Structure 1
């Protein structure tokens, strides 16, 4: 949860959507994000008194004057910093998208936020913003398989190379990898995913930030640290506080939270987001109005959903780790090493609700367990209201070479589980009968 002392900075929000300033504090006490989700960034009086924002299904917007149109395009094209002062065209901006972006920024206390058509479009747009042919990307490992494919295969076609370090690496190990990368070319970015997908290992963002600044200084030309915060954000982890520059999300997951939309996000400083917005404007990866409207709906209950799922996961993982057919449960609430425990204490506000379950046996036993589930759904993705279970080695990470999967502990006996908001005891009963089927 957001700290008591946090006060959201909304200096980048768009005043045209409100006839009066938002209420951000009462009696000197800053309002919490869960309260701001109910109205921040939208004035009903500007939309016929509608309590909730309407869906603005339009491709283009009418300018109040030719001079206003010029000003808006100066912002869109980057001739004037800060983005458009008004609505221009739905490939660039729109009311639903900007309301969602304002509210997303509150959770991370970010200067600015942008929405995208998917998590991967957010990641791809950020990478294309900062990386050019001949550059080197340093990243933690493992990453979501599509992200690894984008970096290794797609960008590799254009002369971009990469080098990685294990998610739980020590400062010395991170330093050695960055040193190696510098010898390969210009380091354009340090890309992280914490906890790692699907192994649930945390990255020490503070250590990465310290190593980066030691090698490249603290100027604006240093490579940005970008982190995928999908597994824990925005409730249980706030990477911008620990040295990250840009946070990316699959908003399909916890932020959307109902398994009924696909969306992505990127949050960070105004300077970085101005650059990312220019790329988004060019390649057209903005979120559509209807999905943005659904996302705003979901953000109202984000804290409630995540807290319930987190409580369920703690109870279920405590039960699972004592079962005789379970080899181990990799859950942030049970750190396997003192190093992971230290990172967890410094970085996290909760253990999340997605974890890795290693069964005794191999693919046969894992498949038998998955096929026997009755409440939990056999499906990829995570962070929804329903409990989901999948087999990373055979599904989301199937394209990862076998040797790399072995090195990253993505084994045939691994099952990834995302706990939802059902009754915890009912889920335990489901897992118990599924284990009995092995």
Structure 2
């Protein structure tokens, strides 16, 4: 179409706040995500020439005509797949959210993306859209504690059961669990978390996708492979390239990156995203406009922040590895050459990340003494922010996990989880050194 006005006249659709056509390449060169974050999906001419998208604080949007309103609701209600072609109501869509979703999909070259009010609302909405009473969920272990609670306790009320395999499972182990699950009921999805929270263990996405394809060859309703990629983010791992169908993020973490918002996201193909969009429209778990606007700001510096944090983590972990009071460091840059974890890392990962597990010599007393002595690093849960954070998973984020399961998954009292930020790395090392001296 020649311009937004012509397209709206022909389709009855409200123009979305993106340039048409968008600039995706220059001189035959495909633009990189870091460049596209500065303007992709937004046309200043539609907002009084504002360089940055405004925050659209409105609950509803005016239709050009009754026919346009009908057309939009056909998309919102799922009568026509793909969502609304225009702006309808803030429970369904909005300019800030749509621009954000356009940019979020760029990082993994995904067809579509959705954003949510939190990482857990993204996970819950996805599960509710895929799972039926009596289904079986196959998942890797460990998972974030709230995810385990949602699957085991909440969905368990509706007869949903689960089977798991350890994060570093071999193809044979993965196949065996899927085979058991098929005999138990309809397998709704295969849910992965890699690296695992909080152990940092990697899952072989390619092996899981291959096992799924083998067990459900020729099956129309085959279970999707879903992965929570929060720990590495799209800069250090891109699961869609390795066989995942849907990728989940807590956008609170690296995408937001400043510890000042809570949000979640899902990226994947349009076909895989459509049922999740329909569920989100129904239960209203969309990101609010202000958080979406803040995320647009944060995505502009995502590569810079994550790169600096990754460089810092490598230096900090080198210090920890040689310290006499540290038993081991669960950092992806230290994987044993020739091990299965190193092989998965080589095939799947583009960087070691900046969040890792630290095992002190001792138990809860030593871990707490170390955490309480920190002066620069903050004693707080979460990760992926500009500041360095440290926490004790067994007593905090994974407290609700039964003790015997924590022990089986390696979530011990000696484990401390650290997310390195963008401070000066030598200052961080000095802080960790003095804190270990208090242990």
Please tell me the TM-score bracket, short chain as reference: over 0.9
Partner of 1:101: 101
Q: Which residue of 1 aligns with 2:266?
A: 266
Shift of 1:220: 4.3
Query: Would the aligned equivalents of 2:15 and 2:86 in 1 still touch at CA under 8 Å?
Result: no
Aligned counterparts of 2:266 and 2:349: Cα–Cα separation in 1: 20
Q: Deviations over 1:121-166 (max 9, x none)?
A: 0000000000010000000000000000000000000000000000
**1:218 Cα deviation (Å)?**
5.6
CA distance in 1, matches of 2:314, 2:249: 24
SS of alignment partner, residue 39 of structure 1: coil
1:16 Cα deviation after fit: 2.6
CA distance in 1, matches of 2:266, 2:280: 11
Q: Distance in 1 between matches of 2:363 and 2:33?
A: 43
TM-superposed deviation, 1:219: 4.9
Query: Where does structure 1 differ by over 4 angstroms across 4 or more consecutive aligned residues?
Result: none
Question: Gapped runs of 5+ residues in structure 1?
Answer: 1-13
Partner residue of 1:324?
324
Name 2:5's counterpart in structure 1.
none
The CA distance in 2 between the partners of 1:313 and 1:166, in whole Å, is 26
Q: Does 1:70 align with 2:70?
A: yes
Give the match for residue 44 of structure 1: 44
Counting only pairs closer than 5 Å after superposition, residues 171-210 of structure 1 correspond to structure 2 as: 171-210=171-210
Deviations 1:309-361 (A, max 9, x none): 00000011011100000000000011146100000000000000000000000
- What's the RMSD between the two structures over aligned residues? 1.0
Number of aligned residue pairs: 425
Tell me the distance in 2 between the aligned counterparts of 1:82 and 1:405: 41
Whole-angstrom distance in 2 between the partners of 1:113 and 1:144: 22
Determine the structure 1 residue equivalent to 2:285.
285
Per the alignment, residue 382 of structure 2 pairs with: 381
Q: Distance in 2 between matches of 1:321 and 1:156?
A: 41
SS of the equivalent of 1:235 reads helix
Who is 1:257 aligned against? 257
**What secondary structure does 1:86 align onto?**
coil
Distance 1:433 1:19 in 2: 53
Question: Is the Cα contact below 8 Å between 2:391 and 2:417 reproduced in 1?
Answer: yes
Q: Secondary structure at the match of 2:398?
A: coil
1:206-245 deviations in whole A, cap 9, x for unaligned?
A: 0000000000016541000110000001100000010000
Match of 1:9 in 2: none
Tell me whether 423-432 or 21-30 shows the greater mean CA deviation: 21-30
What CA deviation, in whole Å up to 9, does each residue of 1:409-437 have, x standing for no partner? Answer: 00001000000000000000000000000
| Cα pair distance change 1:218/1:313, threshold 3 Å | farther
Q: Find the counterpart in structure 1 of residue 230 from structure 2.
A: 230
Once the two structures are TM-superposed, the CA of residue 304 in structure 1 deviates from its matched residue by 0.1
* Alpha-carbon contact 2:358-2:416 (below 8 Å) kept: yes
Aligned to 2:423: 422
Partner in structure 2 of residue 342 of structure 1: 343
Paired residue secondary structure (2:137)? strand
Residue 103 of structure 1: CA displacement?
A: 0.3
Could you say what secondary structure the match of 2:236 adopts?
coil
1:90 is aligned to 2:100: no
Matched, 1:120 2:120: yes
* Paired residue secondary structure (1:271): helix
Name 2:33's counterpart in structure 1: 33
- 1:18 is displaced (CA, Å) by 3.4
- Aligned residue number for residue 110 of structure 1: 110
335-344 or 54-63: bigger deviation? 335-344
Measure, in 2, the Cα distance between the counterparts of 1:190 and 1:25: 36
Whole-Å Cα distance in 2 between the matches of residues 370 and 128 of structure 1? 38
Classify 1:19/1:249 alpha carbon distance in 2 versus 1 (closer, same or farther; 3 Å).
closer
Deviation at 1:172, TM superposition (A): 0.2
- For residues 388-427 of structure 1, the aligned pairs below 5 Å read 388-427=389-428
What secondary structure does 1:328 align onto? strand
* Matched residue, 1:22: 22
In the alignment, the residues of structure 1 paired with residue 75 and residue 146 of structure 2 have an alpha-carbon distance, to the nearest angstrom, of 33
Partner residue in 2 for 1:134 = 134
Q: Which residue of 1 aligns with 2:373?
A: 372
Aligned equivalents of 2:159, 2:321: Cα separation in 1? 45
Shift of 1:187: 0.5
Q: Deviations over 1:354-406 (max 9, x none)?
A: 00000000000000000000000000000000000000000000000000000
Task: Report what 1:10 is aligned to.
Answer: none
TM-score by length of 1: 0.96
**Displacement, 1:20?**
3.4
Q: After TM superposition, give the deviation of residue 15 of structure 1 in Å.
A: 5.7
Name the counterpart of 1:353.
354
In the TM superposition, residue 22 of structure 1 has moved relative to its aligned partner by 1.5
Report the TM-score when normalising by structure 2: 0.96
